[in-house]
Chain A
């Protein structure tokens, strides 16, 4: 699968790692729902580190869309909530 980390680029991640990533993603989801920034930051950290370590960078000139998109490093729980909120389409430029 192809995972995009916003502000960083796309990574190809072998499907063998999907379960691990999904598990970490569930942790991130719980943190976003609870709104607790500390657990959000640690969940983000785990997930981004994992994607970077098991993923291979996709070449810059690839036009492949991603299967999953992760928030940018340094995002706050509010940033992610804004992105996910109903108005988020208007928030994404381009």
Chain B
């Protein structure tokens, strides 16, 4: 059978089942109205939850942007100091950060879409709940229990369908938000671990540490390499190793090239 007809039957079966349960159909009206108000609360909480996740993503994106700019600056600084290896490391990390940033950007767009949909859903439900309340009062004032049956059925099935729809939308949004929160938590950990550098400025990342140690120690490592070269008589200066301090991933050939170029 047709998909859209089957789905419609599932929704309407739910409404008739709820109606059948009530002894006096007019009781259903008040009970249903309470459920509607609860659902309104739920969808509003859903909107707030999605907004919270969206804001958290925005904060992380901002941190990553700062980190990307910082790494670019470090790359420039390292290159000016003749440390192409360090510059390459900074730019490699920057490209990783940018990748993360563009992933987050896609997630952000998805959350924003979810937030808009849920906001509209809550407006639609509000309009229907208001209409239902008016209809409910009219029915209770005008009809006897027996007469009310049909009228109640008419008012009830439309709102019941809306409630099911909104309930599903809230569930979908919750699922997405939960997945997003797990991911955001992982990114926070990544940011805190220094793998993307600590942007709070309280801890120094290794590139900063190395750049600073280069200037403060007057290039001790480079001096050391020069001395090693002098001691290792007979060795060609290009073969010098050890110019690269531990912790960086420079290729030794880059270091040799830079050493060779040094006057």
Q: Which residues of A contact B (CB under 8 A)?
A: 3-4, 6-9, 21-22, 25-26, 28-29, 32, 47, 59-72, 80, 83-84, 88-89, 91-94
Is B39 interfacial (CB-CB < 8 Å)? Answer: yes
A62 to B164, CA, bound (A): 16
B interface, by DSSP: helix, strand, loop or mixed?
Answer: helix
Q: Which of A3, A21, A67, A93 contacts B170 (CB 8 A)?
A: A93
Q: Which of A61, A89, A93 contacts B130 (CB 8 A)?
A: A61
Of the candidates B123, B131, B168, the one having the most CB atoms from chain A within 10 angstroms of its own CB is B168
Q: Which of A80, A92, A93 contacts B3 (CB 8 A)?
A: A80
B165 and A62 form a contact (CB under 8 A): no
A29 and B13 form a contact (CB under 8 A): no
A60 to B117, CA, bound (A): 14
Could you list some 28 contacts between A and B, CB below 8 A?
A: A4-B161, A7-B121, A7-B169, A21-B4, A25-B5, A26-B2, A28-B3, A28-B4, A29-B1, A29-B3, A47-B4, A60-B123, A60-B127, A64-B158, A65-B11, A65-B158, A65-B160, A68-B8, A70-B4, A72-B168, A72-B169, A83-B7, A92-B11, A93-B39, A93-B168, A93-B171, A94-B35, A94-B160
Given contacts A62-B158, A65-B158, A69-B4, 10 further A-B contacts (CB under 8 A): A6-B169, A7-B165, A8-B117, A29-B2, A63-B132, A65-B11, A69-B11, A92-B14, A93-B164, A94-B35
Q: Which of A22, A64, A89, A94 contacts B163 (CB 8 A)?
A: A94
A70 to B10, CA, bound (A): 12
Q: Which residues of A contact B158 (CB under 8 A)?
A: 62-65
A89 and B165 form a contact (CB under 8 A): no
Q: Which residues of B contact A61 (CB under 8 A)?
A: 127-128, 130-131
Restricting to B116-131, which residues have a CB under 8 Å from any CB of A? 117, 120-121, 123-124, 126-128, 130-131
A68 and B168 form a contact (CB under 8 A): no
Q: Which residue of B lies closest to A80 (CB)?
A: B3
A78 to B39, CA, bound (A): 26
